[in-house]
Structure 1
Amino acid sequence: MRIGELAERAGTTTRTLRYYESRGLLPARRAGNGYRTYDEGDLRLIEQIRTLQDFGFDLEETRPFVDCLRAGHPAGDACPASLAVYRRKLGELDALIDQLKAVRAEVGAQLTRAELEASADLPGGPEPRCELNRDAS
């Protein structure tokens, strides 16, 4: 198949496919007329790359998965290098989750504080704490 068909079937653009080719992720085979040619295996490579990118993997992190597919494995994550990327990515995600939990706790504490202060300013609530008022009485 030609690059336009591959792009359409993969749900991407020809520009993206050329970029993958320039990064060595997609083979650069040419027909006698100079057109790029691709097969179903190349479609599988693009699907693997796009799935991993949808999960937050950067393009270089997809390389071991692509290499694994190119080596003839039925799945891109059947190789030790791919498993190592999964482990590293899980560690990164766990760290981000911990960071987000800490930020959430801080935002929750700020909300509680702000709500208490706002309720103190409502009619019938306690007098506002103003240092100038204390000195004036």
Structure 2
Amino acid sequence: MTPAADHRDGLRIGELSRRTATSARSLRYYEQRGLITADREQNGYRRYGPDVVNVVNNIRVLLSAGLSVDDIDQFGSCVRSPDLNAAPCTAALDIYEQRLTTLRTKIDALEHLHATLVEHTSRLRAQLRD
């Protein structure tokens, strides 16, 4: 890149961070994991293409839905879509179904623990009243 092109081509990490409300540390982590890529300037600064904004926004949506970075890595090119909901993604469906199964198992375990604690609490209250 020439110095004149530096200001036109791509986003530095700070600008990408501002546009996506994502910390620079998280962006570096996504890059380390291969979810996003950056070109390097001669001085070592990262330059991200404008399409990376969509990718980072998608990553954030998926993370907030309870998926892990490993899950998102399996999305392949689907995560690069400007709108995750616009086009079907077979990989996404498989991962969503796996996560739902995992959540159902955890919910069942928590419901069992809740019922057990309610029972113990009721029994203890009854004993203390006697």
TM-score by length of 2: 0.79
Q: Which residue of 2 aligns with 1:75?
A: 84
CA deviation vs aligned residue, 1:33-84 (integer Å, no higher than 9, x gap): 65322244211111121222222221111113353133x5742773111110
CA deviation vs aligned residue, 1:84-137 (integer Å, no higher than 9, x gap): 0000000011111111110110011011101101111xxxxxxxxxxxxxxxxx
Task: Name which of 95, 99, 111 aligns with 1:85.
Answer: 95
| Rounded Cα–Cα distance in structure 1 between residues aligned with 2:65 and 2:78 | 18
- SS at structure 2 position matched to 1:78: coil
Of structures 1 and 2, the larger Rg is shown by 1
Q: Which residue of 1 aligns with 2:17?
A: 7
Partner AA of 1:11 in structure 2: A
TM-score by length of 1: 0.75
- SS at structure 2 position matched to 1:12: coil
Q: Which residue of 1 aligns with 2:40?
A: 30
Gaps of 5+ in 1: 121-137
Select the structure with the greater relative contact order (CA < 8 A; seq sep ≥ 6): 2
Q: Which residue of 2 aligns with 1:102?
A: 112
The worse-fitting range, judged by mean Cα deviation, of 45-54 and 93-102 is 45-54
CA deviation vs aligned residue, 1:3-51 (integer Å, no higher than 9, x gap): 1011122122212211111110111223566532224421111112122
Aligned length: 119
Q: Percent identity?
A: 34
| Rounded Cα–Cα distance in structure 2 between residues aligned with 1:89 and 1:40 | 31
Q: CA RMSD in A?
A: 2.2
